[in-house]
Structure 1
Amino acid sequence: MEADRPVVLSIAGFDPCAGAGILADIKTFEQHKVYGIGINTARTLQTENDFISISWEDENSILQSLEIMLSQYDVKAIKIGIIENISALNRIVSYVHQKNTAIKIVVDTVIKSSSGFNFWNEQMQEASLIEILSKIFLITPNYNEVLQLMPSSNAKESAKKLSAYCNVLLKGGHNKEELGIDYLYTQNDIERLEGNNDEMYAKHGSGCVLSAAITANLAQGVDLFASCSNAKKYIEQFLSSNKTLLGYHHV
Structure 2
Amino acid sequence: MFDATQEVLIAIWHQDFDALLSPGSAVLIYVLVSLFIFLESSFLPAAPLPCDSVVVLVGTLSAVGVLNPFLAFALLIIAASVGSWLAYLQGRWLNRLPVVQGWVNKVPESNMKMVDNLLGRHGLIALFMARFAPGVRCLVPMVMGIRLHEVQRFHYFAWFSASLWIALLAGVGFLLPSLPEPISRFATMVLMAAPVATLCAAIFTFATWRLRRLIGDKKRRLNKF
TM class by smaller structure: 0.3 to 0.5
Higher helix share: 2
Larger RCO: Structure 1 or Structure 2 (Cα < 8 Å, ≥ 6 residues apart)?
Answer: 2
Structure (1 or 2) with the larger CA radius of gyration? 2
Q: Which has the higher strand share?
A: 1
Task: Please give the TM-score of this superposition, normalised by the length of structure 1.
Answer: 0.30
> TM-score by structure 2 length?
0.32
